[in-house]
Amino acid sequence: MKNHENSIILENVSCARGNRTVINNVSLKITSGKNFIIKGQNGSGKSTFLRMLAGFQKNVNGKILFNGESIFTNQQEYQNNIFYLSENNPIKNTFSCYENLFFWAEIEGMENNIQEALKFQKLENLKNLPAKFLSMGQKRRLNLSRLAITQKKIWLLDEPVNGLDEESILRLCELIKKHLANKGIVVIATHVDLNLETDTFYL
Amino acid sequence: MKNHENSIILENVSCARGNRTVINNVSLKITSGKNFIIKGQNGSGKSTFLRMLAGFQKNVNGKILFNGESIFTNQQEYQNNIFYLSENNPIKNTFSCYENLFFWAEIEGMENNIQEALKFQKLENLKNLPAKFLSMGQKRRLNLSRLAITQKKIWLLDEPVNGLDEESILRLCELIKKHLANKGIVVIATHVDLNLETDTFYL
Amino acid sequence: MFKIFLSIVKRDLKLSYKQGNTSLNIVIYFFLSVSLFPLGVGPETELLSKIGPGIVWVSALFSSVLSLDKIFQADFEDGSLEIFNLTAIPLEFLVLAKALAYWLTSGLLLVILCPIFGLILSMSSKSILYLTITMLLGTPTLILVGSIGASLTVGLKRGSMLISLLILPLYIPILIFGVSAIDASINDVSAKPQLLLLGSLLCFSLVLSPIASAAGLRINME
Amino acid sequence: MFKIFLSIVKRDLKLSYKQGNTSLNIVIYFFLSVSLFPLGVGPETELLSKIGPGIVWVSALFSSVLSLDKIFQADFEDGSLEIFNLTAIPLEFLVLAKALAYWLTSGLLLVILCPIFGLILSMSSKSILYLTITMLLGTPTLILVGSIGASLTVGLKRGSMLISLLILPLYIPILIFGVSAIDASINDVSAKPQLLLLGSLLCFSLVLSPIASAAGLRINME
Amino acid sequence: MLENRLDIRNYMKKLHKLANPGKFYRLSEKILPWSNLLAISLCALGLYLGLFIAPPDYQQGESVRIIYVHVPAATLASFVYAIMAVASAISFIWKNPLGNFIAKSAAPIGAVFTIIAIITGALWGKPTWGTWWIWDARLTSVLILFFLYLGYIAIWQVFEDQNKAAKAAAIIAIVGAINLPIIRFSVDWWNTLHQGASIIRLDGPSIHQDILIPLIFMWLGFLSYLISLLIIRIQSEITLQKIRAIQILISEQK
Ligand code: HEM
Ligand SMILES: Nc1ncnc2c1ncn2[C@@H]1O[C@H](COP(=O)(O)OP(=O)(O)OP(=O)(O)O)[C@@H](O)[C@H]1O
Ligand SMILES: Nc1ncnc2c1ncn2[C@@H]1O[C@H](COP(=O)(O)OP(=O)(O)OP(=O)(O)O)[C@@H](O)[C@H]1O
Ligand SMILES: [Mg+2]
Ligand SMILES: [Mg+2]
């Protein structure tokens, strides 16, 4: 499965938040192997867009098709393909970096790759530090290091490089390229220009 | 007082976090009227540096002088000069934007300027929306809008433009320039390049 | 599936240990709370043994429910819940796992300790036996029922007031059956009906509350 | 200065109103706890009225401190506390303002409600009067003392239950004086010494607890 | 534990002033042998007098002899807390670490005295009152004292940063001191089963000489023992701080 073409197609999709339609009649195609970046002003609906793709939004009109099938027909199965990185970091302050990562790895059944994941974001030295002592960027990097573990096909990354230093951004870009080479899907919402070959969509 | 020269001078300042010395023997001068930017990798101590200037860090060695006087001798008085923008947003989710801002304004005795502050970050339309419905960038902007109200001389901004769109960044830069023109002090920790004339310090 | 279930339980136990909601603390809280009542009511042993079951039960309620309303809060706020949603296990299992971990660190301990408190409150050995049994059946139910309320109020949308108004009174039947089972045993009436009711309440809530809580979480997650 | 004090109180009242469930939870827990004892004791009114004051007091204590340990938590975590630190008012005033707001949404409510509960527990009108007076004097003290513990544990995710270990013992004098004042009034002895003691405890804690709490907050703020 | 190098330098300086060439160490080294000697001899004497010479009580019989352990332990339980509170207050106000060391070292000792008082009291209560335990004000306030000790000890464990722990613990010690007058006067304020004050009274002690004298010996013996223990524990606490400081310095230099 991993090296097959995958695609997400949106047809006339609208999505409301509260009583405002945030995403209005969007049609587009997201293909595997190519990075897809969403840009737009604050509050234009980038995060909403990603949440919609992850199946978290309820008030969705129109069709969203993953490999030809609506994502809502087999939602649980579809959602198993998704790696979603939200604006927050799902990190427990009292757990060390290692423990935090270990738990998420366990949930995915990938406990063996943790060392590698820590190395990917240069967190080996901080391995045993409780996460509450991490700086903001370090926390984000700990969250991002889940990417090095996951086997999921669709990566939805909401402002992944927020607060990261340049070096970390480069490392992230490398990983994304690798995933794309494996025919994965990557959708990123960001304000920062990344050095990636992209389809860009303006909300 | 407002239009006088102000300066912060650090002499051989060190500061520790946990059992690690994060800031090591730093000597520098921050002058009013010129933007001062701190750069460095994640975890290099930028936030610690700002917290130290705000008087929040305890394990500080060396001298920190504001207008020639150590900031620790009259700490309460010195701290009254400080506007500190942390990495978090001190926003109550159940309060509307207006209510959030109103409270901080009241604390500073500046309730009359709220409309202006909301306008500054284009939040007029969201005025009555509970803050939990704001997008990440909008929250940051709400926090930043406190800048338009404050009368404080020293601005310490920790990653102020995190998650902001370009337009908002420009508006912020305008405000900073205005403050500098009034001989204010601005110290910013950030990874993003701002279009400002700066002294830059690498940690 | 079961492995993931276990690892959630393990994580929650570890979290509660690291956050210091350790067994010791709960014991002390319970102990203090039980010992406050005699202070308020006076030291006459006969009176104490009479209201003893009520005291132990109310103290158990307070100490086991103390932080129950926040059981999903942290996972909700930091986005962990969303990640759970993207794994193979259904949310119902997550609820069950979290409730189990919570019970292991609070309810179970109270059950083990309540004979001691029965002695302190001069209860007879028979009513202590019944106290222990009712607590064993009742505390998990308290926690399961409480988790429904916690799931519904996790996002703190408007109207959360109404929800807690609905859920909190659900503790009442558990308390009433628990206390009256012990009373029955004291008066040499069979306590079987009460125990059966408590047992069936437990079974009910074991099935219903994960479903209801998961639904509640989904509502608030949008 | 006073204006800022007021605006903090106002904010906290508004916050607790918007988050809805806190005051209501308190009332419901109070109600649950108080109404359970007639059940354990049986309906003999004489007995009930005897243990009534103790029960109301202990219940009030538990329900009013239920969420007290979180009184500074939100402000600490989102950085509001740091901003307070940069204003002209000392942290001690902030503590006082927050304690006042907390009391208005919890303690005051219990004071207003306790005549009703006194009636439920068949207490005489005289002891209900004294119950109300002692609660009026005692609940603010409870909250002020509790805020010390809350300030000490605010930064520690670990050890949030520790507050009970630290602070509950300190509630006991308040409880004892409160109950014994009512007992004295029932036995037609003057309750003046107890009331005076309660009053002086209140005065003490009004002065000491803001200082101690502010010191605790400063420790945890680093 | 000392958290960082900068602080350690200051700390070492302070410690040196206090400990190494300082007054405390020299003074304590002088006191220690004497307090040891006094503790052993006074207790031996008191026990001999109390158990073999003093007559049994005409009401309570032989069980009255528990008094020779119960009363010293009970009074010292409060006394140690008072020391803790004062030492904490001093070190909190004048930012001197020695007070914290004293308080930290005293807490477990006080907790043990409290436990001894409670256990001996319970043992005594069974024959005289017919019950091990009742919830009256004296007994309960002593139990609270025990919890306060536990809380104080716990707070040192909960904070990672020992400087913070010291301050937090100091606050608790000071605030908890409110319990002391309650213990002392509980027998006057409430009618309880427990004995009223019979030794330290304005109008002189109201118990018989034969019991009073061994009791005083025991009390002084306990006090000497307390002083010995305290000195040893403070010394080891100071040494421990130094070892940790040096360890951190070494690890920083690597
Ligand atoms: C667990 C039960 C008990 C506890 C916790 C306890 C506690 C105490 C305390 C704290 C004191 C010291 C009071 C002070 O410093 O002023 C004390 C003194 C004393 N206790 Fe107890 N006690 C208990 C049981 C008993 C019993 C059963 C008796 C004898 C009937 C007894 C007889 C005394 C006497 C004679 C004194 C000396 C009173 C004075 O002169 O101040 N105690 N006890
Ligand atoms: N208690 C502690 N023990 C050990 N290390 C700590 C402790 N507290 C903070 N640190 C470390 O202090 C360093 C400085 O953190 P700081 O937040 O100042 O970094 P920063 O430059 O702002 O980074 P970022 O760009 O990620 O915001 C980090 O490496 C952090 O891990
Ligand atoms: N319940 C609601 N009622 C009204 N508007 C809402 C509600 N919830 C969200 N919104 C609005 O939805 C819009 C989309 O938010 P979203 O988080 O998707 O923006 P975004 O593009 O990610 O912005 P940012 O760049 O700041 O992250 C925002 O304008 C927000 O104010
Ligand atoms: Mg967004
Ligand atoms: Mg930072």
Q: Using the structure block, give the residue that is written with the tokens 């480069």.
A: A170
> What would the pLDDT profile of C126-168 be if each residue is shown by its tens digit?
888 988 999 999 999 989 988 888 888 787 655 455 666 667 6
As a whole number, mean pLDDT of residues B159-164 equals 90
Residue of B nearest to D5 (CA): B107
Give the nearest partner residue to E150 out of D165, D208, D222, using CB atoms: D165
Which residues, listed in sequence order, are joined to residue B130 by a DSSP beta bridge?
B96
Q: Is E183 in the pocket of ligand 1 (CB under 6 A)?
A: yes
Q: Do A41 and B167 touch (CB under 8 A)?
A: yes
Residue C104: is it exposed, middle or buried by C-beta count within 10 angstroms (0-12/13-18/19+)?
A: middle
Where does chain E show beta strands of DSSP type E? none
The confidence band for C183, taking pLDDT boundaries of 50, 70 and 90, is: confident
Question: Which positions in chain D touch E185 (Cβ < 8 Å)?
Answer: none
Q: Say which of C20, C32, C42 has its CB closest to residue E147.
A: C32
- Average of per-residue pLDDT values in chain E: 81
Task: Lay out the sheet containing A82-85: strands in order across.
Answer: A82-85, A154-158, A185-189, A35-39, A198-202
Residues E22-33: what's their mean pLDDT?
Answer: 78
Q: Which residues of chain D have pLDDT under 70?
A: 20-22, 39-43, 157-165
Determine which residue's CA is closest to atom 1 belonging to ligand 3. Answer: A18
CB atoms within 10 A of CB A28: 13
Pick the residue with more confidence: B38 or E2? B38
E158/chain C closest Cα distance in angstroms = 8
Separation of CA A23 and ligand 3 centre (Å): 10
Asked if the C-beta of D208 comes within 8 angstroms of chain E's C-beta atoms, the answer is yes
Judged by phi (left if over 0) then psi (alpha if -120 to 50, else beta), residue A158 lies in beta
Per-residue pLDDT for C203 more than 90? yes
Q: What is the pLDDT of residue D171?
A: 85
- CA–CA distance, B70 with B167 (Å, rounded to integer): 39
Nearest to D169 by CA among B72, E154, C12: E154
Which one is predicted more confidently, A91 or C175? Answer: A91
Predicted confidence at residue E2, as pLDDT, reads 40
Q: What is the pLDDT of residue A144?
A: 92
Q: What is the largest CA-CA distance in chain D?
A: 59
Chain B contact for E247, CB < 8 A?
no
Check: CB of residue D86 under 8 Å from CB of residue B79.
Answer: yes
Interface check B168 vs A, CB under 8 A: yes
pLDDT at E19: 46
Structural domain count of chain C: 1
- How much is the pLDDT for E244? 75
Residue E250 CA to residue E254 CA, distance in Å, equals 7
How does strand B35-39 pair with strand B198-202? parallel
Any idea of the CA torsion for D138, D143, D146, D150, to the nearest 10 degrees?
180
Contact B65, B13 (CB under 8 A): no
Q: What is the token pair recorded at C218?
A: 């989904």
Q: Which of D148, D158, D212 sits opposite E158 (nearest CB)?
A: D158
CA of D144 vs chain B CAs: smallest distance (Å): 23
Per DSSP bridges, beta strands A198-202 and A35-39 are parallel
pLDDT per residue as tens digits for the range A123-181: 888 888 889 889 999 999 999 999 988 889 999 999 999 889 888 999 999 999 999 99
Q: Residue B89's beta-bridge partner residues?
A: none
Nearest chain A residue to B40, by CA:
A165
- On chain B, the residues whose CB falls within 8 A of the CB of A136 are 42, 47, 87, 159
Test the A interface: residue of D73, D154, D158 with most A CBs within 10 Å: D158
**CB-CB neighbors (< 8 A) of B15 in chain E:** 6
Are A95 and C14 in contact (CB < 8 Å)? yes
- The two tokens of residue E3 are 């958290």
Residues of C whose CB is below 8 A from A77: none
pTM for the model stands at 0.86
Judge contact between C114 and C121, C-beta under 8 A.
no
SS (H, E, C) C55-81: HHHHHHHHHHHCCHHHCCHHHHHCCHH
- The pick from B14, B15, B22 for probing ligand 2's pocket by mutation, whose C-beta has the most ligand atoms within 8 angstroms, reads B22
Residues having CB within 6 Å of any atom of ligand 3: A 17-18, 20, 22, 40, 42-48; B 129, 133-138, 163
CA pair distance A201, C198, nearest whole angstrom = 58
Element (H, E) at A16: strand A7-17
| Domain assignment of residue D176, given as a range | 2-221
Model confidence at B35: pLDDT above 80: yes
Contacts of B59 in chain E (CB under 8 A): 3-4, 6-7
Contacting chains of B (3 CB pairs or more, <8 Å) are A, D, E
Separation between Cα atoms, residue C62 and residue D58, nearest integer Å: 12
CA A123 to ligand 5 center in whole angstroms: 16
In what helix (H) or strand (E) does residue A8 lie, and over which residues does it extend?
A: strand A7-17
Ligand 1 and E137: CB distance under 6 A: no
With CB atoms and an 8 Å threshold, state whether E7 touches B16: yes
A134 in contact with chain C, both atoms CB, cutoff 8 A? no
CA C110 to chain centre: 10
Overall residue count recorded for chain C in this entry:
222
Distance from A73 to chain D by nearest Cα, in Å?
37
pLDDT, position C24: 65
pLDDT tens sequence across B135-148: 999 999 999 999 98
E54 to A98, E48, E61, E214, E244: CA distances (angstroms): 67, 9, 12, 8, 51
Q: Provide the pLDDT for residue E13.
A: 60
- For residue C42, the chain E residues in CB contact (below 8 A) are 135
pLDDT, one tens digit per residue, over B83-126 is 999 998 999 988 999 999 999 998 888 888 888 888 888 888 88
Give the Å distance between the CA of C148 and the centre of ligand 3: 28
Q: How far is the CA of A16 from the centre of ligand 3 (A)?
A: 10
Residues C96-121 have a mean pLDDT of 87
**C-alpha B45 – ligand 2 centre gap (Å):** 6
**Which of B13, B56, B58, B59 to probe the E interface (max E CBs under 10 A)?**
B59
Instruction: With CB atoms and an 8 Å threshold, state whether E4 touches B21.
Output: yes
C-alpha count within 13 angstroms, C-beta hemisphere, residue E92: 24
Strands B20-31 and A69-70: unpaired
pLDDT of amino acid E201: 64
User: Closest Cα partner for C70 from C29, C28, C30, C98?
Assistant: C98
Straight-line distance from the first to the last Cα atom of chain A, in angstroms, rounded to the nearest whole number: 31
Contacts of B74 (CB under 8 A, 6+ apart): none
Contact between D41 and D103 (Cβ < 8 Å): no
Closest CB from D7, D86, D222 relative to B106: D7
- φ, ψ (nearest 5 deg) of residue B159: 45, 60
Q: Which of D11, D77, D88 lies nearest to residue B103, judging by beta carbons? A: D11
Q: Touching A: which chains, 3+ CB pairs < 8 A? A: B, C, D
Ligand 1, residues E195, E215, E219, E223: which to mutate, most atoms within 8 A of Cβ?
A: E195
**Token pair of E202, please?**
């304005």
Residues in chain B: 203
Residue having the nearest C-alpha atom to atom 34 of ligand 1: E195
Nearest to C7 among A76, A83, A103 (CB): A103
Residue of A nearest to D157 (CA): A94
The string of pLDDT tens digits covering residues E193-238 is: 777 777 666 666 667 777 888 888 999 999 999 999 999 998 888 8
ipTM score over 0.90, yes or no: no
Residues of C within 8 A of D20 (CB-CB) are 156, 158-161, 164
Exposed/middle/buried for residue E122 (C-beta within 10 Å: 0-12, 13-18, 19+): middle
Which site among C21, C22, C35, C116 would you substitute to test the E interface, given the most E Cβ atoms closer than 10 Å to its Cβ? C35
DSSP state letters, B88-154 = S----TTSBHHHHHHHHHHHHT-GGGHHHHHHHTT-GGGTTSBGGGS-HHHHHHHHHGGGGT---SE
pLDDT over 60 (residue A76): yes
Q: Which chains have at least 3 CB atom pairs separated by less than 8 Å from chain C?
A: A, D, E
B109/D contact by beta carbon, under 8 A: yes
